[in-house]
Amino acid sequence: MIELVKRRSARPLALTLALASVIALSGCAQLGVKPWVKPYERQRLADPIMSANRHDIANRHVAHVYEARESGRGAEGAGGGGCGCN
């Protein structure tokens, strides 16, 4: 019969998902923490140069180049997926 090899623990995945779910559902506010950066303090973060997706169309091409030549995939954010190139 076919054997199954070493069973690597998938616990980090489960813990990460669980943590993400808890934060998403409860919100930090309910953990007793208040927002510490006020809206008027976010001028720098609103500068277009701080946008990681400033050039969306170029980022799509970069992701496609890597996806076609490397085995690593996923966790790039909201975009990507379903390219289906072989």
Partner 1 sequence: MAVIKSITETTREKKVKVLPMSGVSCQEQEQFQAVYKTSTRSKVVAVLVLVAAVILLIISKLTYGAVLDPDRADVLYHSYQGGGMKIDGPAVLIRKKANDNVAVSAYYYVDTISSASVDVLSTASPYSEERKEFQLGAEYLHDKTVIAVNVGQSDESDYLAKSVALNIAHDTFGDLTTVSLGVVYGDNEIKRNGDDNFLETSQQYRIRAGINQILTPSLTAGINIEAVADEGYLNNPYRTVRFIDNSNAAGVGFQGEVYPDTRNSFAVKLSSSYYLPYRAALFANYRYFTDSWDIESQDFELAYRQPFWGDKFELEMKARVYQQTAANFYSDLFPFRDAQNFLARDKELSDFDDLTLGLGLTYKIPSAWSPFNWQSEASFQWDHLRFNYNNFRNPNDPGGVGAEPLYRFSANVVRAFVSVYF
Q: What is the token pair recorded at 18? A: 């669980």
Q: Give the interface size with partner 1 as a residue count (CB under 8 A).
A: 68
Work out whether 7 is an interface residue with partner 1 (CB under 8 A): yes
Any idea which residue has 């997706």 for tokens?
53
* Residues between 52 and 81 that touch partner 1 (CB under 8 A): 52, 54-58, 60-62, 64-66, 68-78, 81
Site string for partner 1, 35-54 (x = CB under 8 A): xxx-x-xxxxx-x-xx-x-x
Q: What span, in angstroms and rounded, lies between the C-alpha atoms of 31 and 74? A: 30
Work out whether 32 is an interface residue with partner 1 (CB under 8 A): no
| DSSP at 10 | -
Other beta carbons within 10 angstroms of residue 4's beta carbon come to 6
| Cα 17-56-47 angle, rounded to 5 deg | 90
**Residues near partner 1 (CB under 8 A):** 1-14, 16-18, 20-21, 23-25, 27-29, 33-37, 39, 41-45, 47, 49-50, 52, 54-58, 60-62, 64-66, 68-78, 81-86
